[in-house]
Amino acid sequence: MSEIKLERDKDGLVRDMTQSNIKVKPRYTPEDVADIDYDQKIGDPGQFPFTRGLYENMYRDRLWLKSFIVSYATPEETNAAFKSYIKNGLNDLRLLADLPTQSGIDPDHPAAYNSMMCGGVAVYGMPVFDKMLEGLPLEGVTYELAHSNVSSSIYSHACLVSKMRREGLDPTKLRGNGICDPIRAILVYGSPDWPTEINRQICIDHVEYTIDNTPKWKAAAPNGVDPQQAGMPIIQEVGEVIAVQSAIIADLEKRGKTIDDYGPVVVALDSEIDFFETICKFRAARRLWAEVARNRFGAKTKRAQLLKIGIRTSGLSLQKQKPLNNASRITMEIMASVLGGVNSLDASSFDEAIGLPSEEARMFNLDTQHIITHEAGIPLVADPLGGSYYVEALTNYIVEEVYKYLDEIEERGGIYECLESGWLNYVMEENRLRVQHEKENGERLIIGVNSFQGEEGPINNAISNCAYMPPTEEDRENRIKEVIEFKKSRDYSVLGPKFKTLYDVAKAKENVSEAIIDAVGDGMTMGEMVGIIRMAYGLGYDPFSMIETPDYIVDALGVE
């Protein structure tokens, strides 16, 4: 007689709350939404407060942008990848650089070697942009910058504008956005390039400049993805991006600009594996910003009340154990994004927990979105879950809790003070440790990791062996030589005065944007831009204090 017993409830639920520990009831009824005023708190799609979506017909009129970070070891590889993915439906070109670039240093810096060309291109200057974007349009296409810090966003925007000017194109037609989030840069990455004081000043310089000169470019897109994946629950994730954007608008007002000058807001949020919580988060975020824009900043135009959401499906949810399961996770996260009405979708890849995504994994991301659109018919109706007792109750709860969090931020002196005091980090770390404890105790089941582990089969093994490999030492040595030769080849009689202009305007706390673009066009590198602005603020040239200020910089600036 068999000793195997089939227990119906053996794999039953272990939680009665969402991923962010929001307690939920077993069922919801009309009583749970009785106090929610439809016109004021939900509204039709395309109408204030845009809970149900920004546009009346939503995806019938315009599908979401399909994007993911394309940044391999070399600009040539990256260019070829862009062209391949575009043929398969990519229509939002997302750029990134390697870690040294995002730390504000060039490849020839002694701290750059070990992580050079890993996770992105070493974007030291205009020659890299020329190779990376060779044959790709600069007008009529959307570019997004996924960099961790403020300096990389500003530098990459300068490269795009300089390239357009050189090619006789109109920079007012440059379309896209950069994260350029002064809070996330320090909170998550501890970016060494500039401290918060500089990040805040230069960010507003950049925003002010783009309103007047590249109006289709959204200069700052506050990012909740990385704080969320570093530990922040969704209430704090949404609250943080609303608080950062509010601080940017408040700083902009001091320069005589209004929220109506700024126009629609773009933010980046995480699409997590908790299906309904994620959907409700996106709905809540739109409502929150519409209300803040109207009630706090007096937005008069509809445009200024719009919150455009770009998402990245959760890399944190992906596991190296049984990586085929990640395909299911990504599909659910894409579905939640579409049902939540996002505007731009960057899907992670099923092999991403192992290494940089393979081409086949990238194609799977795009094909999944095509299947959801053209076979499953998910985007046919705007906000198809609108009116669900559960969805409306959870959306409203998130909004109310975020307002409480925003009040606490203000009571603590505002978002910048909360960053500098360490309180934001405490909130993030406390939740991260709680989640880890729940996983270890079996209070959160991660399939294939702490439950239902099973055996690794040939498909899982194949996925584990197909990820993109990092560059060789020879590749890195060649890149260092390339940078050194580039710096030697420049005309310092032209470039030197550009260095001096940037230094002077930064020291005077004037807007540095045009000075950066002008110098980048004549060959200023990423590391030089960061170093010169640091010096203008009385800091050392090198963020890592490992190298002396180059003689040609000293000579150009006329400083000791």
51 with 305: CB under 8 angstroms? no
Percent of the chain with pLDDT over 90: 77
CB 186 within 8 A of CB 415: no
pLDDT for res 132: 94
What confidence tier does 350 reach under pLDDT thresholds 50, 70, 90? confident
Model pTM? Answer: 0.94
**Strand locations in 111-155, DSSP E?**
142-145
Residue range(s) in the chain whose domain bears CATH number 3.20.20.240: 50-454
Position 107 confidence tier, pLDDT thresholds 50, 70, 90: very high
Under 8 Å between Cβ of 150 and 180: yes
pLDDT at 301: 97
* The predicted structure's pLDDT at residue 224: 95
Summarize the confidence of residues 41-58 as an average pLDDT: 97
- pLDDT for 468: 62
Model pLDDT, residue 72: 82
Which helix (H) or strand (E) is 364 found in, with range?
helix 359-374
Cα-based distances in Å from 16 to 93, 232, 261, 476:
40, 20, 45, 51
Of 24, 13, 22, 15, nearest to 390 (Cα)? 24
Q: Is the pLDDT of residue 1 over 60?
A: no
The Cα 354–Cα 333 span in angstroms is 19
Return the DSSP state at 95: E
Percent of the chain residues topping a pLDDT of 70? 97
Q: Which of 86-100, 122-136, 242-256 has the lowest mean pLDDT?
A: 86-100
Amino acid at 15: R
Q: To the nearest whole number, what is the mean pLDDT of the chain? A: 93
Q: What is the mean pLDDT of residues 14-23?
A: 90
| Contact of 163 with 95, CB cutoff 8 Å | no
Quick one: pLDDT at residue 469?
67
DSSP state of 129: H
Does the structure show a pLDDT above 80 at 257? yes
Residue 524: band (very low, low, confident or very high) from pLDDT cuts 50, 70, 90: very high
Q: Which helix (H) or strand (E) holds 177?
A: strand 175-178
User: DSSP for 245-284?
Assistant: HHHHHHHHHTTT--HHHH-SEEEEEEE-S-HHHHHHHHHH
CA distance 77 to 58: 35
Q: Which of 32-36, 73-77, 309-313 has the lowest mean pLDDT?
A: 73-77
CATH architecture classification, 50-454: Alpha-Beta Barrel (3.20)
CA distance 520 to 495: 9
Q: What is the pLDDT of residue 11?
A: 64
